[in-house]
Structure 1
Amino acid sequence: MKQYISPDNSKTFKEKAPKVQKLINAALYILDTFGIPLDSTPRRLERMALAFLASGAIKKLEDFKNVKDLNSNYALKTRDIIIYINKNFGEDISSGSYDDIRRKDLKLLTVAEVVLQSSPNSATNDSTRGYSINPTYAELIRKFGSKDWEQLVSEKLKHIEPLSKKLKREREIAKVDVTLPSGGKLTFSAGKHNDLQKAIIEDFLPRYGYGSEVLYVGDTSNKYLYLEKEKLEALNFFEISHEELPDVIAYSKKKNWLYLIEAVHSSGPISELRLLQLEKLTKDCNADIVYVTAFLDRPKFRKFMTDIAWETEVWIADNPDHMVHFNGDKFLGPYNS
């Protein structure tokens, strides 16, 4: 069976007992066979697998054959899922992060209807709504491990288009082509956030990047759309799989500056807290760090202006020839035209 997560690429996974590690990878194998896209970070995959296991009352490999489903009158609310995961899988998820269960951990599973809501017509924030395995998929899960199981799944689900295929088709419909400063090309999925990343690469870096080379770009549908891992490691950059990666990373050899750029559409400027996190993560980096928050327009900048950290930079895409410096006396002095 394929190993989707290993102790080498996930700290939380490494800390779990071997039998739990095996159970998580088995759950991901099942979800992969069901057509769930597994192109997230190791931690996101781990969280999705754990939420899936909780939704079916699965604590060990032997429980797959007795998985509970919606017809079993079994359904866990998001807070109960957290309790189940913490109790059975060595986690310490905060009870206050129950909304992440719905919005992140179960998102793909509910869209694909592998996991169903106990009261689908209730309000999004209905605290009584629970989650449980779809009986159609539970029937297949109970036969997991049998001979020709994948073929059995293929036959049973032949009239259901896999979510991974649906999402792939959607991504191919609307794309944003991006030209790197080096002349290479990237293709983003469509969306305001990715429009801003395109502007950062094509408009900001040629103006203020001092010949920068793009070393990392994350797309909303592909966290590792572009990655120069060896070049980042040569700069002693922090672990590439870390979830605190900014949206764009570029390096100017001329200045020995490493640009950490956040593209802000709905959240995520470089605040004082975010700056402290990034400074801690980059403390061993060989390059000098330039922190930049980018916005599409000034109204969006005004919305987040009070959150911007001192000693950082702001760039606004619809005024590309100007920057806002939150840098105190570094730029104090008369401006000569």
Structure 2
Amino acid sequence: MTASNDIDETVATIDTARALLKSFGFDAQRYNVRSGVTLLALAGLKPGDRWADSTTPRLGVQKIMDWSGEHWAKPYATGSREDFRKKTLRQWVDTGFAVLNPDNQNIATNSQLNEYCLSDEAVGAVRSYGTDAFENALVSFLNEASEAVKARAEALHAAMISVDLPDREAFLLSPSGQNPLLKKMVEEFVPRFAPDAKVLYLGDTRGKQSLFEDRIFEETLGLAFDPHGRMPDLVLYDEARGWLFLMEAVKSKGPFDDERHRSLRELFATPVAGLVFVNCFENREAMRQWLPELAWETEAWVADDPDHLIHLNGLRFLGPYER
């Protein structure tokens, strides 16, 4: 299977990588130069290698970009990482061409530990590119990949974390990142310190779904913002007391430090409710490493000892300072 201009399609190049991806039915964004070098990196190929030599290294986005610059003279700036992740890799994962974290589904979407590799179903077809066997290998991929994607999705759903909300049906979170701590915040903190509060926002680490009560935010509190922005992990509204709890599950990312405390006070400023900031930790050891960064006039809660709060200065023990 060679082109009419005598280009050897069995040799791995950026051009043959793009042609290969197009053969898989991907659209232009998924077979452009960025996608081409991504494929070459995930296949572990350098100039002079053949598609038959493809391997399946597990690479993070930065390592993919490094491979592109070092071996294929296509350097990318650090700011390009999201383009690789959102405009190439996400769609490859969705179609079963690539796999995200094949041995660990519990890594947060924004974690630097995320790694990608070609799926077993895809690499067989990739290795045959440029040969007479490719067409049959492509058909096999299309049949097998859909089943593999379905099986991975079912395995992920089986591992989902069910969170018992105080005023509605249980909500499912992916089993990753700080989500186990987030479950404890809803099921352990809320009954103790905000028993009459309503959950207005509950975010999922993997960014696949979230609970967002936009009507209450807009009509009751007079707040409008993008729920996909840098929201706290959990927002509660205690209408009786006029308190709005902004809560952070501190695990892979930081707590309410001075800058975040200030920016969220501005973002959530409403005449209807005062703001209560709560930093949440799995245990005291986890809290200790972040203690120097905790902003004054916030609270600290430890899931291992849920009956207690640590108060960081101010005139109140628990409550908004501006009210």
TM-score normalized with structure 1 length: 0.57
Matches within 5 A, 1:279-298: 279-283=265-269, 286-298=272-284
Q: Is 1:112–1:162's contact at 8 Å kept on the other side of the alignment?
A: no
What do you get for the CA RMSD once the two structures are aligned? Answer: 4.6
Is residue 311 of structure 1 aligned with residue 291 of structure 2? Answer: no
SS in 1 for 2:209: strand
SS in 2 for 1:168: helix
Letter in 2 for 1:193: Q
Residue in 1 aligned with 2:142? 157
Whole-Å separation in 2 of the counterparts to 1:224 and 1:52: 29
Gap change, CA 1:188 and 1:54, over 3 Å in 2? same
Residue in 1 aligned with 2:162? 177
* CA offset digits 1:207-227 (Å, max 9, x no partner): 111510011111224443322
Offset, 1:105: 6.8
Residue in 2 aligned with 1:78? 65
Matches within 5 A, 1:246-257: 246-257=232-243
Whole-Å separation in 2 of the counterparts to 1:262 and 1:51: 39
The correspondence for 1:197, drawn from 166, 169, 182, is 182
Matches within 5 A, 1:58-137: 78=65, 95-97=77-79, 108=90, 109=92, 114=97
Offset, 1:317: 0.8
Matches within 5 A, 1:259-270: 259-270=245-256
Gap change, CA 1:242 and 1:315, over 3 Å in 2? same
Residue in 1 aligned with 2:228? 242
* CA offset digits 1:179-223 (Å, max 9, x no partner): 112253222333462221111111111111151001111122444
SS in 2 for 1:56: helix
Gap change, CA 1:111 and 1:181, over 3 Å in 2? closer
Whole-Å separation in 1 of the counterparts to 2:245 and 2:212: 14
SS in 2 for 1:220: coil
Is residue 55 of structure 1 aligned with residue 35 of structure 2? Answer: yes
Residue in 2 aligned with 1:146? none
Whole-Å separation in 1 of the counterparts to 2:296 and 2:198: 26
Gap change, CA 1:276 and 1:317, over 3 Å in 2? same
* CA offset digits 1:245-294 (Å, max 9, x no partner): 11111111012211111112222311122223322322357422211111
Q: Is 2:198–2:237's contact at 8 Å kept on the other side of the alignment?
A: yes
Letter in 2 for 1:78: M
Gap change, CA 1:288 and 1:177, over 3 Å in 2? same
Offset, 1:163: 6.6
Residue in 1 aligned with 2:213? 228
SS in 2 for 1:239: coil
Is residue 186 of structure 1 aligned with residue 171 of structure 2? Answer: yes
TM-score normalized with structure 2 length: 0.59
Offset, 1:166: 4.1
SS in 2 for 1:159: helix
Q: Is 2:235–2:246's contact at 8 Å kept on the other side of the alignment?
A: yes
Q: Is 2:165–2:199's contact at 8 Å kept on the other side of the alignment?
A: yes
Gap change, CA 1:81 and 1:222, over 3 Å in 2? same
Whole-Å separation in 2 of the counterparts to 1:246 and 1:330: 22
Gap change, CA 1:113 and 1:257, over 3 Å in 2? same
Give the number of the structure whose alpha-carbon radius of gyration is greater. Answer: 2
The correspondence for 1:271, drawn from 245, 251, 257, is 257
Residue in 2 aligned with 1:147? none
Letter in 2 for 1:176: I
Q: Is 1:52–1:106's contact at 8 Å kept on the other side of the alignment?
A: no
Letter in 2 for 1:250: L
| Sequence identity (%) | 28
Letter in 2 for 1:248: L
Whole-Å separation in 2 of the counterparts to 1:246 and 1:228: 14
Letter in 1 for 2:296: W
Offset, 1:164: 4.7
Unpaired stretches in structure 2, ≥5 consecutive residues: 1-21, 49-62, 70-75, 100-111, 113-117, 130-137, 319-323
Whole-Å separation in 2 of the counterparts to 1:320 and 1:239: 31
* CA offset digits 1:77-112 (Å, max 9, x no partner): 526989xxxxxxxxxx9x344666777776544797
